[in-house]
Amino acid sequence: MLTRKDFEGRERPTWCPGCGNYGILNAIKAAFVEHQIAPHEMLIVSGIGCGSKLPLYMKVTGYHSLHGRPVAIATGARLANHGLRVMVVHGDGDAYGEGLSHFLNAARRNVRLVDLVQDNRIYGLTKGQYSPTSEHGKRTPTSPEGALDQPVQPLALAIAAGATFVARGYSGELQHLAWLIGEALQHPGYALIDVLQPCVTFNRGYAYEFYNQRVYKLEDEPGYDPSNRTLAWEKSYEWGERIPIGILYRGSPLPTYEEQVPALRSGPLVARPLEKLGMAQVEALLRELR
């Protein structure tokens, strides 16, 4: 029987005291224990950023990749071994800025992976520049007159791209977030969880006090149906006095990308024996490539 101790890493987190990433780390551990997913059964791919150091603080198979590229690398890992569970953990700048095209293509291809985005609406690691989800007019050290860009709407983008599991969590609601992660892990396809993650150092306007007064759980909303794509689209734009968290959209399962690749129907590539090619086969392959 797995416990949280089985996921304890050798390194202690160096995040700022009060950082929302502590809640995300604990929620991931709780979800793995709840669903009895052993460390060797899960690959966590991260990018560059404060939260992307998360695999270092867990006993789990981790891959620390380039800025904006973890979804692409996770896709490759999943195709090489679709018997392995894959999760991406990265920030809003990594996911929706440098990695925006990878995010959209993973959603439309329906690669089976959990894409967990630590959305603090700021670039924290580089000391507080505005990010793709920062509000218009956001004043930062590099935008003293206010951000000129309009913020992206990641939940709406995921729905438009064809994702069949789109959710928002909040690191201040640990049990709820752990439940969301567990649901995403069981989803047969691409699953986005955009997590409201307070940065208490560089974005204090969106700290716990702000979110605690506004977030509400969609599961508690009478009549809310997460299978209703139109309603989910409308909820994805709700932001202000009320901010929804929970599963916004859960559509009917679609074939995953891996299931549609003929070469993968015989099982994971990593489990197959290497075959020695004869010169005739090598020459035939070369002729095909000319």
**Per-residue pLDDT, 84:** 93
Distance separating alpha carbons of residues 79 and 40, to the nearest angstrom:
17
β-pairing verdict for 165-170 and 85-91: unpaired
**Per-residue pLDDT, 125:** 87
Lowest-pLDDT range, 69-73, 141-145, 186-190, 271-275?
271-275
Distance separating alpha carbons of residues 118 and 198, to the nearest angstrom:
9
* CATH at 165: 3.40.50.970
Is residue 95 within 8 A of residue 154, CB to CB? The reply is: yes
Using CB atoms within 10 Å of the CB of residue 101, give its burial: 0 to 12 exposed, 13 to 18 middle, 19+ buried: exposed
At 60, list the tokens: 């789990």
Instruction: Share the mean pLDDT of the chain.
Output: 94
**Per-residue pLDDT, 278:** 85
Is residue 198 within 8 A of residue 211, CB to CB? The reply is: yes
At 120, list the tokens: 């603090």
Domain count, the chain: 1
Under the banding of pLDDT at 50, 70 and 90, the label for residue 285 is: confident
The pTM for the full model equals: 0.93
Mean pLDDT of all residues in 15-43: 96
At 161, list the tokens: 């791209």
At 217, list the tokens: 């759980």
Q: List Cα–Cα distances, 278 to 138, 223, 271, 274, in angstroms.
A: 63, 64, 22, 13
Partnered with residue 117 across adjacent β-strands are: 90, 194
Mean pLDDT of all residues in 249-255: 95
| Helix, strand, coil tally for the chain in percent (to 5) | 40, 20, 40
The single-letter code of the amino acid at 101 is S
Residue 253 has pLDDT above 80, yes or no: yes
- Determine the structural domain holding residue 129 and report its residue range: 4-289
Q: From edge to edge, which strands make up the β-sheet containing 85-91? A: 61-64, 42-46, 85-91, 114-119, 191-196, 165-170, 243-250, 215-217
